[in-house]
């Protein structure tokens, strides 16, 4: 498990203790096409293949949820000790903040809790 995934999981599991429910944001990339053939060996042939993405928009934070006592939306981008926000992540965080939400990056469960608790004030 990568460092960011581990931090993300630690944050998600710690947030109920401060009165929050969090969900993990999932995105993915797949292929589709006009004719899909499946073969006995398990392989697949896609004719006129084209990629597509599914899930949330670029920059959407790793974790999002609700603060129970206020009903406020929060978004947390989990980062490793050296991880940096992309410009799309920065824009998403600013968008949430500009709409009275709580948002930011966290490198630990403690940082995430501090972010949410300071945003509640």
Average pLDDT over residues 1-11: 89
pLDDT in tens, 70-117: 999 999 999 999 999 999 999 999 999 999 999 999 999 999 999 999
pTM: 0.80
Average per-residue pLDDT for the chain:
93
Mapped onto helix, strand or coil, the DSSP state of residue 50 is strand
Q: Which residues, 6+ apart, have CB-to-CB distance to 101 below 8 Å?
A: 72, 73, 74, 75
Non-local CB neighbours of 52 within 8 Å, separated by 6+ positions: 29, 30, 31, 32
Q: What is the pLDDT of residue 104?
A: 97
**In the predicted structure, residue 36 carries a pLDDT above the cut 90:** yes
Section 3-11 average pLDDT? 93
Domains of the chain: 3-25+60-120 (3.40.1350.10), 29-55 (no CATH)
């Amino acid at each position: 498990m990568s460092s960011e995934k581990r931090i993300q999981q630690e944050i998600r599991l710690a947030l109920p203790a401060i009165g929050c429910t969090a969900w993990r944001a999932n995105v993915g990339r797949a292929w589709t096409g006009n004719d899909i053939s499946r073969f006995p060996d398990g392989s697949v042939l896609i004719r006129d293949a084209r990629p597509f993405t599914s899930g949330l928009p670029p920059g959407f934070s790793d974790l999002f949820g609700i603060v129970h006592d206020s009903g406020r939306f929060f978004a947390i981008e989990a980062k490793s000790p050296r991880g940096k926000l992309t410009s799309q992540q920065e824009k998403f965080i600013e968008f949430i903040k500009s709409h009275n939400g709580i948002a930011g990056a966290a490198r630990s469960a403690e940082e995430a809790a501090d972010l949410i608790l300071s945003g509640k004030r």
